[in-house]
Structure 1
Amino acid sequence: MTKDLEKMSREELESLKKDIDKALASLEIRRRSEARAAAEKAARDHGFSLEEVLKGEKKGSKSPPKYRNPDDPRKTWTGRGRQPAWIKDALASGKSLEDFLI
């Protein structure tokens, strides 16, 4: 799929950018899943579950994220503590927390 970017309108370019951001987020999720599967296999090969291996290294338990920024999937929030700026901005613009649930 090749497109002549110079001939595209701003709306088409913005749409393409949004599609690319979603594809990159999806790729990161797939790669993380593949890495986890490889880590689980390595732990099994040594006679442990991944949870057993990780449990021995955790100092405290951290809550898993409940909310993800759709514009930057690397930014997450557990729903505890101070709200990050991206959540505050979204709520001020009329969005709800449910829009960001993982």
Structure 2
Amino acid sequence: MATVNVDRMSLKDLIDLEAKVQKAIAVARDRERAEVKQALATMAEKRGFSVNELFGGRGRGKSSAAKYVNPDNRAETWTGRGRKPNWLVAKLKKGAKITDFAI
């Protein structure tokens, strides 16, 4: 590997070098991640498992169907999972029941 004498480089050259190093680090990180994923998948398959089985693959990107809707704005929905949305919390505080918003 060639040695770079950074003490003699101009500020512009150092900034350019820094950008190249950051890009190279990102590419190397992605490559390493892909290699580790492949190694884990191979190891799991040899033992009769999938990676999702072992690590609780919830399936990123899958969304649950909406179960509740804001009657004032039908674009605002909630699946019933996670934190209640502000519109629902406000209506419940005013005495509404959650079943009033069921789809």
Q: Tell me the TM-score normalised to structure 1 length.
A: 0.51
Residue 3 (structure 1) shift: 1.7
Q: Write out aligned runs for 1:61-76 (5 A).
A: 61-63=59-61
- How far residue 46 of structure 1 moved from its aligned partner, in angstroms, is 1.2
Unpaired stretches in structure 2, ≥5 consecutive residues = 62-103
Give 1:1-102 correspondences, 5 Å limit: 1-54=2-55, 57-58=56-57, 61-63=59-61
- Following superposition, which runs of at least 4 residues in structure 1 exceed 6 angstroms of deviation? none
CA distance in 2, matches of 1:3, 1:26: 21
**Larger strand proportion of the pair:** 2
- Counting aligned pairs with the same residue, the percent is 28
Query: Cα offset for 1:21?
Result: 0.4
- Structure 1 distance, partners of 2:36, 2:59, is 21
Tell me by how many angstroms 1:27 deviates.
0.9
Using the alignment, how far apart are the partners of 1:13 and 1:39 within structure 2?
38
Provide the C-alpha distance between the structure 2 equivalents of 1:48 and 1:61, rounded to a whole number of angstroms.
Answer: 16
- CA displacement at 1:50 relative to structure 2: 2.5
Q: Distance in 1 between matches of 2:16 and 2:53?
A: 44
Q: CA offsets, 1:34-75, max 9 Å, x none?
A: 100111101111113324444xx24x5544xxxxxxxxxxxx
Please identify the structure whose Cα radius of gyration is greater.
2
Alpha carbon RMSD of aligned pairs, Å?
A: 1.8
Q: TM-score, normalised by structure 2?
A: 0.50
For 1:8 and 1:43, the matched residues in 2 are separated by: 49
Structure 1: stretches of 5+ with no match in the other structure: 64-102
How many residue pairs match? The answer is 60
Aligned AA (2:21): I
Q: What letter is aligned with 1:48? A: F
